[in-house]
Structure 1
């Protein structure tokens, strides 16, 4: 019986197709021509076909024993396993070295740049604030005796005049009349110009007495209890602070249930242009005082992570120091604990700090 490789159809196939058929046959036999021994060739017609297709290669391997093939395969597998194990070991060593170097660099090079401020000992005063309006101590209206035309105007709003100074000249049916100041002060509420007609029933202008100036405000019952008549309080007008003496503290509330108060200030003549009628004044009223306390900037106190603490810089290290908050205001906090007067606490750079971290102080702030 002819095998397929001996048939006319196989011999008439192109060489490339016959080669492909041979590969397919070999794969069906679970091996390569080199792996097929003398004992395997009688398994099927596939084996006999291979012998006819590869007669020269078949004869070279006829004498190979099964043990030889097993040893050769085992040696080949062992060599592959050894190469793979060696590669894994080398990669592991390099990874460990790189990790150690990175950890060493992080430990040695991680220095946090911070800003510090000095802790001081003193009193912390907690204040209430109230808002009032600057007004002149007195206002004097300037009137004309009869209706007429202004023929001469000698002042303008904001001018400072002395008593008996000439303010304007008015022409009436009875003749011209010169109007003079009855008191010293500042000119205000002047709306007329030369050539205008004015009435004798309305003031032409007002002279404001600005020495002293009055601050008026209305306060609640709680704030009224903090105020004492004759006491001097700090008042801020614009960006300037002034001493204001409380001169009135009404015992009767107004229409809105608030109590009217008045305080007087005596601004310098140089402040005549900065302290004007109608400006807002902020009065600072002490509410509570903490005496002989360690004062630190409020931003240096870390809260929300358990007990409050600060970082004190010692020998270029950040030392976590627990504190007890006695009182806090917007910019300063009174604390107690092992922190001492003169210690330098971190105020900027807190987010990346930990206890014992190396620090570099780039700025020493003066928050006193």
Structure 2
């Protein structure tokens, strides 16, 4: 009787192990056949330009002082700080010992550093206001000798400010370093829409190197593992792992060498969960 019970128990254990094994195999097969959703872009080729970010401060292109002929008491004010004025517009009137004086703007521009307050007495020793150039700003940069050599007089460069791009034309490249060992570079930026105010810091994008005729991929597509760089290409519904060598890298794009060619579908989203020959459901990213 006891021997019969042992036999039955043994058979039950074997059956349970077989069922577990079959369940594991089924799960493994399902996982193998499951498609991972991924997003792809097409690899492209071309010249890859490496840029350095150089920060500069915005200042008015020119500042013209408004000087008073004599001291006096401010009687009436026609403008406020930041107003745009034309040449010979009235800024304010002044009560003086010789009678009322009308103070006019000497040029077109923007009113800055306005010292006049109604009823206040102001002297003629310092400017009562400054008229800044209203259409352009001056961007002043301090750069190393290594970066200075990449600037060219009258060339146009991209400037980024508040997530938007503008154009700057280089007007001056210092030939001698300042006391801090850096060189001064100046550029003009259009400001007709009053995007910039004095003191704003903007980023100038300086091209310093170009890799000729290379494969260019989104940096996000590159996966690092085991001290190697890889990308996943989608071919015949599968992810194919390809080793690449990064020749130049920027935050958004990188130049690479490897078994990747123009037009290949490169995974840019979902690649972290892939392995070689993973089944994928690929959607091309719309630019």
TM-score normalised by the shorter chain: which range applies?
over 0.9
1:320 matched residue in structure 2: 241
- Secondary structure (helix, strand or coil) at the match of 1:229 reads coil
Matched, 1:185 2:105: no
CA distance in 1, matches of 2:227, 2:177: 46
1:343 matched residue in structure 2: 264
Counterpart contact for 2:66–2:105, Cα < 8 Å = yes
- Secondary structure (helix, strand or coil) at the match of 1:226 reads coil
TM-score for both structures, normalised by structure 1 = 0.73
1:88 matched residue in structure 2: 10
- Secondary structure (helix, strand or coil) at the match of 2:225 reads coil
2:254 matched residue in structure 1: 333
Q: CA RMSD in A?
A: 1.7
Matched, 1:357 2:278: yes
Which moved further from structure 2: 224-233 or 161-170?
Answer: 224-233
Q: Which has the higher helix share?
A: 1
Per-residue CA deviation, residues 243-269 of structure 1 (Å, 9 max, x unaligned), is 2111111111112111111111223x3
1:297 matched residue in structure 2: 218
CA distance in 1, matches of 2:115, 2:162: 27
Matched, 1:107 2:29: yes
- Secondary structure (helix, strand or coil) at the match of 2:29 reads helix
Bigger Rg, structure 1 or 2: 1
Q: After the TM superposition, list the runs of 4 or more consecutive aligned residues in structure 1 that deviate by more than 6 angstroms.
A: none
Number of residue pairs the alignment of both structures matches: 285
CA distance in 1, matches of 2:232, 2:3: 57
- Secondary structure (helix, strand or coil) at the match of 2:88 reads coil
Matched, 1:249 2:158: no
1:236 matched residue in structure 2: 160
CA distance in 1, matches of 2:77, 2:221: 61
How big is the shift at 1:306? 4.8
In structure 1, the gaps of 5 or more residues are 1-78
Matched, 1:125 2:44: no
Q: Which has the higher contact order (CA 8 A, sep 6+)?
A: 2
Counterpart contact for 1:136–1:211, Cα < 8 Å = no
Where in structure 2 are the equivalents of 1:133-144 lying within 5 Å?
133-144=57-68
